[in-house]
Amino acid sequence: MDGILLLREACNRDPFSQACACVSLPAPHRYSTGLHEPLTGQRHIIRHEVRELILLAGPVVGMQLGQISNGFIDVLMVGRLGPNALAGVALGNATLFFFLLVCLGIVIAVSPMVSQAFGAGERASIGNTVQQGLWLGVILTVPLVIVLWNIAPIWRLLQQDEATVVLGEQYLRAVLWGFLPFLWFIALRSFVEAVSRPWPITFIVFIGVGLNILANSALMYGKWGFPELGLVGCGWATTIVFWFIFLVLAAYVALQPRFREFALVSRFRWPDTGLLRELWWLGLPIGVSYGIEVALFAGTAFLVGTLGPTPLAAHQVAIQCASVTFMVPMGIGIATSVRVGHAVGRGDTDAAAWAGRLGMVLSALFMLCAATVFWIMPRSIVGLYLDLGDVTNAETAAVAVSLLGIAAVFQFFDGVQVSAAGALRGLKDTRVPMVLCFVSYWVLGFPTSVYLGYGLGWGAQGFWWGFVLGLAAASLLLSVRFARQVRQAGGSRVSPTPEPNAYS
């Protein structure tokens, strides 16, 4: 236990090089699978790491797609209520998910802590880490729900359309009741992923997608005897889904025999200020990094909102499409973080390096394919959200098509940056990446958006070109950071400990 605490302290000072100094680093020609004799040669290392990364990333990507499917379904079903309702969802979601993702990033610190402890074979601290993650969710929820409940005056100060503000407030107040269970779900999800057993989460999330469709139909449109609540019904449906996925995952963790050694249920822990502080300082830069990126998109939504409800509705359609494809590299980034964390925990520097590099390559390849689809068939994609035969949607559809063309450009950079961030997170390197994200998005990206959108009069399209610059800078800086950290770890090396058997 003292060794793990020393490792964490060292990682906070110099994330990769000192972490590797605390654990035993491998000889470059040896790589242990944990199931066979150590493999020899770089080709074997790459082959093994590709296989393990894909096996872990597959269900994680499926889970991410399942989660974003709820947003896709919401926008799809709300779109039938008209552009004003769609603009209200856009405003509410832009605000909600900024704060939600910041808190998610903080709670997700459970993942690298559990991953490195699991890789090192240290089981004693894992259960306490997870329970403190649950307490952290409570601490974060209370003040933020109070703030978001009273957010409408701030929207008005930002010159948002009054009808959009009213609808957005109604939607937001309904969905806020699901804030806490979502963070609890993230804490448990981070634990389950960190011990390499993600498939059950994928199943739970997809069941939640089906529930979301039923709940939206019942509460938005008043089917099966339920009241017709319109946009507000969409918010309540989301809250129901958040509670459902948390409760089912909690039941699975409690009943799964293989998790009993972590004493997640059998032993109750009160808040531990020391461990909470450690989670906070590790997770805060992750949350801020998420927030910095999401704030770029949310800030752009506010800029587009000043142009009226039609461009804002188009922005919501296009950003929802980009968000769906982003879930794949985001899932790969989560898997990359776990694989890197396992490797660092057992002292396998070569595996950590290759896990990070391969995660970036896989994400880039997928996003190139997604960009091609956006480029060649944008109207067909927009037609999933809007009735293209309705003349009242013609202007919204035209703007959305143009924004998808720009999204095709930034897809590649978005994939690389999220995987590079995941790789660095696996090293517990979170503070410098936070600064790099800030420079990319707010020193370069957002000012460019303002200049192109307002200064040159490009409107919504100009705002979106700022995305391209910000994401391109982030992908370059984060990938260079990871390469630098790997090079610094190339000094003293000894044989690694065997890789622990994963729960897969």
Inter-axis angle of helices 179-194 and 83-107, to 10 degrees?
50
Token pair recorded at residue 115: 């991953």
Torsion angle in degrees (nearest 10) through CA of 286, 292, 293, 294: 100
Per-residue pLDDT of the chain (504 residues; tens, 9 = 90+): 334 333 333 333 333 333 333 333 333 333 333 333 344 456 776 777 778 777 777 777 777 777 767 777 777 787 777 777 777 887 887 788 778 888 888 888 887 788 777 766 666 677 788 888 899 999 999 998 898 898 888 888 877 778 788 888 888 899 899 999 999 998 888 888 777 677 788 888 888 888 989 998 998 888 888 888 888 888 899 899 999 999 999 998 888 887 877 777 767 778 888 888 888 888 888 888 878 877 777 778 778 878 887 888 888 788 878 888 888 898 888 888 888 877 877 777 777 888 888 899 999 999 999 999 998 888 888 887 777 777 777 888 888 888 888 888 888 899 999 999 988 988 878 889 989 989 998 999 889 988 998 888 888 888 889 888 989 999 999 999 998 887 776 443 444 455 555 444
CA dist., res. 187 & res. 204, Å (int) = 15
Rg (CA), the chain: 22
pTM for the full predicted model: 0.69
Half-sphere exposure of residue 306: CA atoms within 13 angstroms, side-chain side: 14
**∠ Cα 462 465 470 (to 5°):** 135
Exposed (0-12), middle (13-18) or buried (19+): which is 399, by Cβ within 10 Å? buried
Torsion angle in degrees (nearest 10) through CA of 149, 154, 156, 158: -140
Q: Residues near 35 by Cβ (< 8 Å), separated by ≥ 6?
A: 499, 501
